[in-house]
Amino acid sequence: MPTRAFDRLGSVRRYVSLLVWTALAWSQAPSDLEFLTNHTDYREIRNMLPAYLKRLAADRLAERRRQIERLGQAGLEERRRQIREAILRGIGGLPERTPLNARVTGVIEREDHRIEKIVFESQPGFYVTANLYLPKRGSPPYPAVLYPLGHEPGAKAYPVWQRMLVTLARNGYVALAWDTLGQGERVQLFDEDFGASKLVQSTLEHTMQGIQCLLVGDSLARYTIWDGIRALDYLLSRPEVDSRRVAVTGNSGGGTHTAYLAALDDRLHVAAPSCYLTSWMRLLETIGPQDAEQCFPGWLAAGMDHADFVLAFTPKPYLILSAIRDFFSIAGARATFAEAREIYGRLGAADRISMTEADDGHGYSLPRRLAAYRWFEKWLKGADQEIAEGDVPIAREDELWATKTGQVVTSLGGETVFTLNRKRTEALRRPGPPVARQTLLSMLALDTSGGPVPVKPLGAVSAEGYRIEKLVYESEPSIEIPAVLAIPDRPSGRKPAAIVVHGGGKAAARAEIEALVRAGIVVLAIDARGWGETRPATATKGTDWVRYFGDYDSAMTGLLLNKPLVGQRVRDILRGLDLLAARPEVDAARLCAVGMQAGGVPLLHAAVLDERIRKVALERSLGAWECVVRHRIHRGVFENVIFGVLKAYDLPDLAVTLAPRKLWLIDPANQLGEPMGLQEAQGLYAAALKAGNTRIVRRQPEQPAAVVYREFIEMW
């Protein structure tokens, strides 16, 4: 065995004396660890990851267009099947149909219509609050409108929704609206002290719980879509409804679910989504992926776009309602309409597809409402006439409550997305460690191709006792990784080496780099894609979205493409390891790895996959994905989410798989990024501790890196 690095430095006393240097060395060095800011060739480095993902998406969507151009009438039915399969695969399938246990909890009687307050269960104990608007004129059975809601205050009591629902009832339609998750009476993360959601915004709630669902292999849309299907079940159970004449319409999030439900449920006959349909390419080029229920993992990888929602409904009547000044791109909406119109034309149904544009902003504005009414009159009643909106009485939110307190959780209790998802997690039967290599490669969608690593040197500087080389290496075409290589002057000959990966970038690992290089170890510290100098500008803003979810756009786009960020960063680490092992100063038989914070998860995967890494230290790295689904709130974990990973393994399983190689866990982190309790960590890693390759270490406040990592440095 080689002599320990620590022994090569001499006595413990000499090593500890170097601690003073640790605090001062980098400030004395002639160069900082970030060096691309003003470099002419790398002015767009922060856009590297988003641009890479957009190119991948553009390639898939271009191939889709070629397929659609060749699509004949005979192939359309197969395309519909593919669309439905892509939706169901992305949401994890649908729950079992169980009794609705629907009941009317109150009624508002008005001269020309009535409003019933409804509670039903879309899943056992998963309560849905709704309002049913019924005509008092004409003769049943009436045509009906299913009305999924958008993200507006007051949910089903939002004045615009009431205005439209009352108008429909006055004109002989039965209409059903229900509170979607996180809104109205269905706040999922209710805080009794504040009387509101812990996260304020329903979209934050959606995404907080949606990320938990992703770990189990589901999407939040599994719950929202199923609520809509069960709402349709209830609507069709009413004797007042003509089941042969049913439309669906909604705005924004309601437009989203109009598109989903129309694509999935054959019982719907007319569709009119408002302020949603655009195109995925325009989404990625403008506002990016939206909250959790609007993104199906694998959707772009399967070559699907917004137009596919319309194609799945052909040849039934479809009206696209758009706003020219919406944040959903009007150019994308026009492209989607043009494609759909061409397909409808091939089917001899050109009159059944239409688009209405209004020169206004996001919302179900009057021009779009009037267009929807006329569309319903034409296709549900066979009448070519317009409906005008008169004065509409607007009820207070509490007047429309279907529960006593205005919240399901305080009136009825029952399930939430969090509790249902946790139960699904507990019911999983994972294979357990060790984790097969092929399983990892598949979950990560990892390209392991190797060969020489293209490197661009960007200068070198000397410090006392070592030198620093600044460089950029190519992980794969169009992905360049900034790195620093710190090489100690002593000892002579080949030296042990470490790759260092910090979720904050290489500059955030100054103290750890210093401790390792002062111990005679060659250090390669990298900015894996999306970290450090390559961090997208949108992921650096101090918003709630960034604080909770980090680089949401890149992480979600990766999942849409079946290319999780974890796998992409594992690629960067393995190529960095190739670079490090090929250096003449490095003893390739003594390679180790240090990962900190978000860098720990991809680094652990890389170590399991590459046996050249002989030992691993992880500091403040997520201890287990299980922690994320066992607690209501999480923070900073989304970039390390792999779709459906908990069906295959958890992070402690990788620790066992790593054996007999050593794993040093320094303050493993909980779902909030804080050090978890020692007892919890020991419980999660019981199998790894028993295997004898894992050690859990506590770092004391203000304890220097040289002390924390001293024993790890000694351990070969």
pLDDT of residue 31: 52
pLDDT surpassing 70 at residue 511: yes
Given a cut of 90, whether residue 192 has pLDDT beyond it is no
Distance CA 538, CA 550 (A): 9
Q: Are residues 527 and 604 in the same domain?
A: yes
Contact residues for 540 (Cβ-Cβ < 8 A; gap 6+): 546
Domain holding 557: CATH number? Answer: 3.40.50.1820
In a domain, 65, yes or no: no
Q: Which amino acid belongs to residue 32?
A: D
Q: Are residues 360 and 413 in the same domain?
A: yes
Asked if the model's pLDDT at residue 22 lies above 90, the reply is no
CA gyration radius, the chain: 29
Domain-located, residue 53: no
Beta bridge partner(s), residue 579: none
Tell whether pTM > 0.75.
Answer: yes
Tell me the average pLDDT of the chain. Answer: 93
Task: Look at residue 4 and tell me whether its pLDDT is greater than 50.
Answer: no
Residues 6+ apart with CB under 8 A from 259: 271, 273, 276, 277, 306, 309, 310
Q: Which of 394, 426, 458 is the last residue of a domain?
A: 426
Is the pLDDT reported for residue 388 higher than 90? yes
534-565 tens-digit pLDDT:
999 989 877 889 999 999 999 999 999 999 99
Query: Could you tell me if 106 and 134 lie in one domain?
Result: yes
**Are the beta carbons of 328 and 278 closer than 8 angstroms?**
yes
pLDDT digits 0-9 by tens, 678-691: 999 999 999 999 99
DSSP 614-650: EEEEEES-B--THHHHHSS---S-GGG--TTGGGT--
Q: pLDDT tens digits for 607-637? A: 999 999 999 999 999 999 999 999 999 999 9
Q: Which residues span the domain enclosing 656?
A: 5-44+430-714
Instruction: Give the CA distances from residue 254 to residues 108, 262, 643, in Å, rounded to whole numbers and listed in that order.
Output: 24, 12, 25
Q: Bridge partners of 356?
A: 321
User: Are the beta carbons of 536 and 557 closer than 8 angstroms?
Assistant: no
Domain count for the chain: 2
Residue 51, classed as helix, strand or coil, is: helix
Q: Are residues 422 and 441 in the same domain?
A: no
Give mean pLDDT, residues 394-417: 97
- Which segments within 515-599 are labelled E, that is strand? 522-526, 586-596
Query: What b/e sequence results for 61-89 when a residue is b if at least 16 CB atoms lie within 10 Å of its CB, and e otherwise?
Result: beebeeebeebeeeebeebbebbeebbeb
Tell me whether residue 599 is in a domain.
yes
Strand partners, 355: 320
Long-range CB contact pairs, 536-541, < 8 A, 24+:
536/46, 536/47, 536/49, 536/50, 537/46, 537/47, 538/50, 538/288
- Which of the residue ranges 199-203, 232-236, 338-342, 344-348 would you say has the lowest mean pLDDT? 199-203
Name, in order, each residue with C-beta under 8 angstroms of 703's C-beta and a sequence gap of 6 or more.
none
Span 458-483, mean pLDDT?
95
Question: Do both 420 and 497 map to the same domain?
Answer: no
Residues 111 and 232 in one domain: yes
Domain closes at, from 406, 426, 446: 426
Nearest to 540 by CA among 492, 493, 504, 511: 504
Cα torsion 404, 407, 413, 415: sign: positive
Q: Which two tokens stand for residue 545?
A: 């979205």
Q: Is 60 part of any domain?
A: no
For residue 116, give the H/E element and its range: strand 113-123
Q: Which residues contact 78 (CB under 8 A, 6 or more apart)?
A: none
- Shared domain for 38 and 91, answered yes or no, is no
Tokens of 37: 């800011």
Same domain, 476 and 513: yes
10, pLDDT greater than 60: no
Q: State residue 287's pLDDT score.
A: 95
Instruction: Give pLDDT tens digits for 49-61.
Output: 999 999 999 999 9
pLDDT in the model for residue 1: 32
Query: In the prediction, which pLDDT does 476 show?
Result: 97
Residues 223 and 99 placed together within one structural domain of the fold? yes
**pLDDT exceeding 70 applies to what percent of the chain?**
96
Q: In this model, does residue 660 exceed pLDDT 90?
A: yes
Question: Distance between CA 219 and CA 207 in Å, rounded?
Answer: 10
In a domain, 468, yes or no: yes
Domain termination residue (choose one: 426, 456, 491): 426
Q: Which residue has the higher pLDDT, 201 or 268?
A: 268
pLDDT in tens, 283-311: 999 999 999 999 999 999 999 999 999 99
The number of angstroms, rounded, from the C-alpha of 697 to the middle of its chain's C-alpha atoms is 31
Q: Considering the domain boundaries, does residue 55 fall inside one?
A: no
Q: Is residue 52 part of a domain?
A: no
**Position 17 in a domain:** yes
> Within this chain, do residues 341 and 374 fall inside the same structural domain, yes or no?
yes
Backbone phi and psi for residue 486, each to the nearest 5 degrees, phi listed first: -100, 120
Mean pLDDT calculated for residue range 87-105: 98
| Strand 103-109 relative to strand 113-123, pairing | antiparallel
Residues 249 and 384 in one domain: yes
Reported confidence tier of residue 516, pLDDT bands at 50, 70, 90? very high
My answer on whether 400 and 437 are in the same domain is no
